Amino acid sequence: MEPEAMIDRRKNSADSRLQELEAKIECLEAKLDRMASTTEGIFEIIGHARGFFTILGLVGNVLKWAAGIVVVIGGAIAVWNGKSG
């Protein structure tokens, strides 16, 4: 086989392999874009959940203090009326 023909064959093989790799890279980039958009959505949901649990914690603290105040007032009323223990 002539050297020029061998070089052409190797060049064609390399070009073919390069096209395959470029196709794989495009596929990976498309998948990466989809994953990035999914990840952004997940972070958005987590951010909203954080806000929800912060509010829920504040509501819990208010209810805890309100319950304590109701217990104290109820105890004071019971003592006042002579119905304690």
The pLDDT score that the predictor gives to residue 13 is: 87
The structure's pTM equals 0.50
Q: Pick the most confident of 10-14, 34-38, 81-85.
A: 34-38
Which pLDDT value is given to residue 1? Answer: 65
Q: Which of 74, 12, 73 is nearest to 4 (CA)?
A: 12
Q: Which residues contact 75 (CB under 8 A, 6 or more apart)?
A: 84
pLDDT-derived band at 6, boundaries 50, 70, 90: confident
